[in-house]
């Protein structure tokens, strides 16, 4: 899963790419140009590892397109999908957490385009660019809140509730309307869902098969759609 392919650097990017991205939305065009001129832009294939848990945090990233899975490894060696990061967000921001190494692994859930900067520029961005620090720490707070919600779900909810909540989070975060429902906008497998919810592949498969028969969801290879969101909310709460 390591991204061993040759570097895929993209052409010079226009300032308009960052004018509506929260960490940079308060900047003047000349400031955005300065930010972009210090960035490396790269396209990553689906399944590429952008950085690995425990590796030195040498760069921080902004996702322009695609989706990122944030993966943690447990002491027993199992992998847990902690978060999904949508376009327009920073990731790999170890410095904001006071860490010198990446606290998790970042893997592309779909073909993605990301900007990155050397971590040595972080403190300068925080000091110089209005809104960068506040938006970054707001993002950190939101992600910590999501993680706390996940921990509470693991501790207090039955498996059916956890899987239903995971699907609802994904469609709320990145759903797109399709015929008959709302499809999660990036490839996702039943194994991914099991890693998100702390359960087995067999249990996730059994639940999804049952929900498909009831018309709540539709699933095909690497794609899942929610057809009856309200009914799934009921499953998540009961």
Distances in Å between the alpha carbon of 59 and those of 40, 50, 191, 235? 10, 10, 29, 41
Name the domain boundary from 122, 154, 186: 154
Q: Which two tokens stand for residue 206?
A: 């059994």
pLDDT in tens, 21-36: 888 888 988 999 999 9
* Residue appearing with tokens 């950190």: 140
Residue range(s) defining the domain that contains residue 229: 157-237
Check whether residue 73 and residue 191 sit in a common domain. Answer: no
The verdict on residue 85 lying in a domain is yes
Check whether residue 165 and residue 145 sit in a common domain. Answer: no
Split at pLDDT 50, 70, 90, the class of 1 is very low
Check whether residue 69 and residue 143 sit in a common domain. Answer: yes
Name the domain boundary from 154, 181, 216: 154
- Tell me if the pTM is above 0.75: yes
Averaged pLDDT score across all residues of the chain: 89
What is Dmax (Cα atoms) for the chain? 56
Q: What is the mean pLDDT of residues 125-154?
A: 86
Q: What is the mean pLDDT of residues 140-158?
A: 85
Name the domain boundary from 154, 183, 206: 154
């Amino acid at each position: 899963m390591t991204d061993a392919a040759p570097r895929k650097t993209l052409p010079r990017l226009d300032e308009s790419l960052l004018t509506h991205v929260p960490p940079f939305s308060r900047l003047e065009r000349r400031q955005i140009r300065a930010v972009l001129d210090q960035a490396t832009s790269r396209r990553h294939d689906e399944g590429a590892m952008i950085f690995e848990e425990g590796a030195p945090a040498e760069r921080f990233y902004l996702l322009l397109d695609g989706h990122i899975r944030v993966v943690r490894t447990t002491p027993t060696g199992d992998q847990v999908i902690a978060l999904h990061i949508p376009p327009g967000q920073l990731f790999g921001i170890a410095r904001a957490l006071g860490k010198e190494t990446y606290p998790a692994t970042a893997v592309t859930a779909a073909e993605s385009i990301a900007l990155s900067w050397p971590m040595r520029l972080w403190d300068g961005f925080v000091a110089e660019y209005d809104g960068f620090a506040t938006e970054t720490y707001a993002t950190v707070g939101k992600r910590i809140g999501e993680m706390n919600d996940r921990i509470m779900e693991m501790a207090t909810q039955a498996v059916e509730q956890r899987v239903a909540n995971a699907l609802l989070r994904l469609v709320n975060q990145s759903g797109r309307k399709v015929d008959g429902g709302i499809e999660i906008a990036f490839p996702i497998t039943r194994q991914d869902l099991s890693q998100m919810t702390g359960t087995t592949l067999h249990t996730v498969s059994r639940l999804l098969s049952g929900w498909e028969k009831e018309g709540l969801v539709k699933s095909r290879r690497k794609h899942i759609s929610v057809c009856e969101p309200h009914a799934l909310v009921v499953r998540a709460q009961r």
